[in-house]
């Protein structure tokens, strides 16, 4: 039995398949007409289908986090809103607005007074000038020292990737000024220190964001409601997390200010408009930290090993099909390829949906798509150019036939 499962011929084909995949990934021709297709593939993951099509459509309200729209940033108005919110005694406040420079003195002073009054406030900042040689950022910007010396800060940068879709966040980064925490992590730290410590104990440079809510899942306030003194905010905000940022609560609205692509985008293929404000992304990250519902990633080495084994045993399967059904083995093999690809899409989606287990099987899917054509090319080339050499090799290096 083992002799049938261990075939050097199948190993050679598998090796060629992954050499081809490596070549395709490193040699990228500069063909402009392929760019839209190329970027579309880079910006797409199978798990996007789970978020876009398999999610529970029933809206579940998140009662720990409240979203407050700041509108177009105006420091005097934000200061007035902060004063009202502070009076309602929330447990943590995060302002996703960059106060990078000083502006009108009266407005800045009014805002500073609100910042000083807030003992549980996190201001947004940005990390800049990353040096790979020492693995740290050289500057923290986005918030003037006039404000940040009186409040915590958390960076709002999302990790730079080849895609436009926000799938990851970095909990902590090293800077020239010491360790810095992300905006969402700092807010979670204020609200639930135990959950924050659990995040740090994972010791992961990047965390995959578990998107569990959209804008409709959070209680949402507009500036005029916050500033209306006849409204009792304490009943809605006391003991909660209040996130202040740009988030227009209107159907069909799609301004590009602070709006991003996420896996929740209903158009997961060929998407045109960003679908989620930054403040809502931070809310999802905070919710994930508080609940401890992290995405578990299958290790890269295991994913690659599964891809190699999948390709290898498919070569053996094709060899068997050719022996049993030589006249129709081409169409049979193509049907097997399609069935396997569909089945793998289903398995990967179910693993992610049911267990939050993310399997990056890109190499495996490419191997399944290419192995049969590589096998045919290898056999044709061997027969035409190297027939005598191949015949001189030991039998174990050639495809064995039933006698």
Nearest CA to 16 out of 297, 322, 312 is that of 312
Give this prediction's pTM: 0.84
Asked whether the beta carbons of 69 and 61 are under 8 A apart, the reply is no
For CA atoms 227, 231, 232, 238, the dihedral sign is negative
pLDDT of residue 254: 47
The pLDDT profile of the chain, 403 residues, written as one tens digit per residue, is: 445 677 888 899 999 999 998 887 776 544 443 343 344 444 557 777 777 666 666 678 999 999 999 988 789 999 999 999 999 999 999 999 999 888 889 999 999 999 999 989 999 999 999 998 898 999 999 999 899 888 999 999 998 765 678 999 999 999 998 999 999 999 999 999 999 999 999 999 999 999 999 899 999 999 999 999 999 999 999 999 999 999 876 544 445 567 898 888 877 555 568 889 999 999 999 999 999 999 999 999 999 999 999 999 999 999 899 889 988 989 999 999 999 999 998 999 889 888 889 998 889 999 999 999 998 888 777 655 444 444 444 444 445 544 4
Whole-angstrom Cα distance, residue 102 to residue 403? Answer: 86
Asked whether the beta carbons of 88 and 238 are under 8 A apart, the reply is yes
Exposed / middle / buried, residue 241 (Cβ in 10 Å: 0-12, 13-18, 19+): buried
78's CB contacts (< 8 A; 6+ apart) are 70, 95, 97, 111, 114, 244
- The three-state secondary structure class of 216 is helix
Asked whether the beta carbons of 185 and 154 are under 8 A apart, the reply is yes
């Amino acid at each position: 039995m083992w002799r049938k499962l261990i075939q050097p011929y199948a190993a050679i084909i598998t090796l060629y398949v992954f050499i081809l995949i490596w070549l395709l990934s490193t040699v990228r021709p500069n063909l402009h007409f392929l760019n839209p297709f190329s970027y579309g593939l880079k910006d797409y993951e199978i798990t996007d289908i789970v978020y876009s099509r398999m999610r529970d459509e029933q809206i579940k309200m998140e009662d720990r986090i409240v979203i407050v729209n700041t509108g177009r940033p105006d420091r005097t108005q934000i200061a007035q809103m902060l004063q009202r919110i502070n009076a309602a005694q929330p447990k943590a406040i995060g302002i996703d607005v960059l106060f990078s420079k000083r502006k009108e003195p009266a407005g800045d002073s009014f805002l500073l007074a609100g910042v000083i009054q807030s003992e549980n406030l996190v201001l947004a900042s940005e990390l800049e000038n990353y040096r790979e040689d020492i693995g740290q950022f050289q500057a923290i910007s986005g918030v003037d020292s006039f404000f940040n010396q009186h409040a915590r800060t958390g960076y709002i940068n999302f990790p730079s990737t080849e895609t436009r879709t926000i799938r990851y966040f970095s909990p902590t980064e090293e800077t020239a000024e010491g360790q810095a925490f992300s905006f969402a992590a700092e807010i979670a730290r204020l609200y639930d220190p135990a959950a924050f410590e659990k995040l740090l104990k994972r010791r992961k440079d990047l965390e995959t964001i578990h998107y569990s809510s959209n804008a409709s899942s959070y209680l949402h306030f507009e500036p005029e409601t916050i500033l209306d003194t006849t409204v009792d905010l304490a009943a809605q905000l006391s003991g909660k997390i209040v996130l202040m940022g740009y988030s227009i609560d209107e159907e069909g609205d799609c301004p590009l200010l602070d709006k991003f692509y996420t896996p929740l985008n209903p158009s997961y293929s060929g998407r045109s408009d960003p679908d989620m404000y930054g403040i809502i992304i931070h809310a999802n990250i905070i919710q994930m930290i508080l609940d401890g519902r992290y995405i578990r990633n299958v290790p890269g080495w295991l994913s690659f090993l599964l891809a190699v084994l999948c390709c290898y045993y498919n070569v053996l399967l094709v060899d068997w099909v050719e022996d049993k059904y030589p006249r129709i083995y081409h169409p049979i093999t193509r049907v097997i390829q399609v069935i396997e690809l569909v089945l793998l899409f289903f398995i990967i989606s179910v693993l992610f949906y049911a267990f939050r287990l993310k399997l990056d099987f890109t190499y495996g899917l490419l191997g399944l798509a290419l192995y049969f054509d590589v096998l045919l090319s290898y056999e044709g080339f061997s027969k035409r150019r190297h027939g005598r050499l191949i015949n001189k090799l030991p039998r174990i290096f050639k495809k064995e036939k039933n006698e």
